[in-house]
Copies of this chain bind each other. A is one copy, B any other.
């Protein structure tokens, strides 16, 4: 096992080894996959004996994997804030503290989402101007570079929240999707200015005067068309949309299987249905995404994440760190506050 010797140039990703339905097995396996690819040092956080037992199943010699002790685990269903107070040595907490202390560059957890978010907020805090972190990203496989934000916890928003989402979304699109000067739009019920609910109508002028590349309103059918780079909505709408997309895609895949039965080979049918599911259930593929607006790179994963998703999250974290996503967010948010 490689100690910190080579870690100077590697992106150091702390991962909650005990978080997730398949922890620690799949987490450790994902860490190894990532270390094999290179460019990262993975720091597994959890009880030493458990981690050593898992690692012993593999030949990890020469790999940039190390581990940090944490003897407690926050379980799914525990009250996040209470658990955080009662278990200061929980794996997710210790992992976040490594980031706070500058000993790791990013944290990943597939454990209880509530606990992961609470930990990120308590230990890393939010960037100036952000009350609650947002979750965003492309969620329709047909528009892999169109990010929608917020998909998460901000269910009741004010116009300045949507402005913040716009800033976060643009920085994300620039840094993680490599889009320069991203086109930003409000999700609404009509293209014209004045169409929409109170939130959209009040946010419109704010965005128009933001200096961002704001192109106006788009409608629901514009999301899968990929014409816009950053689409803004409150987390209530975003969450319903992403789940509707998953449900509709799954229904269509099942319908398609029945439709094609006897006309193509079973293997071909399964492959088409699986591809369709992956195009509509993108969170199942990515396993999660960064909590945007937190003062540090923090990636929250589905509990059911497997090794390949953990590995992919480690490289998302690396990309966020290497492109200085947080620094760019901080300065953009500051720019808007000074401008307003």
Contact = CB atoms under 8 A, between A and B. Distances in A.
Interface of A: 140, 142, 155-156, 187-189, 196-198, 200, 219-225, 233-237, 239-252, 255-256, 259-260, 263-264, 268, 272, 275-276, 279-280
A76 to B, nearest CB: 14
Which 7 residue pairs of A and B lie closest in terms of their CB atoms, listed nearest first?
Answer: A221-B247, A220-B243, A220-B244, A220-B240, A155-B197, A189-B239, A197-B236
The residue among A140, A156, A224 with the most chain B CB atoms within 10 A of its own CB is: A224
Contacts of A260: 272
As for how many copies of this chain the complex holds, the number is 2
B237 A219 contact: no
A225 B246 CA distance: 11
Contacts of A189: 155, 235-236, 239-240
B243 A244 contact: no
Interface of A is mostly: helix
Contacts of A276: 252, 255-256
Contacts of A263: 264, 268
A26 to B, nearest CB: 24
A140 B222 contact: no
A221 B220 CA distance: 16
Given A142-B255, A220-B242, A240-B237, A225 B197 contact: no
Contacts of A244: 220-221, 223-224, 241, 244-245
21 contacts: A140-B248, A142-B248, A142-B255, A155-B189, A156-B197, A188-B236, A189-B236, A196-B236, A219-B240, A220-B247, A221-B244, A221-B250, A223-B247, A223-B248, A224-B244, A245-B248, A248-B248, A252-B252, A252-B279, A259-B275, A263-B268
Contacts of A251: 140, 142, 224-225
A321 to B, nearest CB: 30
A53 to B, nearest CB: 36
Given A220-B245, A244-B245, 15 more contacts: A140-B248, A155-B198, A156-B197, A189-B235, A189-B240, A197-B236, A200-B236, A219-B239, A223-B247, A223-B248, A224-B248, A237-B237, A240-B241, A263-B268, A264-B264
A219 B236 CA distance: 10
B241 A241 contact: yes
A165 to B, nearest CB: 16
Contacts of A155: 189, 196-198
A222 B225 CA distance: 24
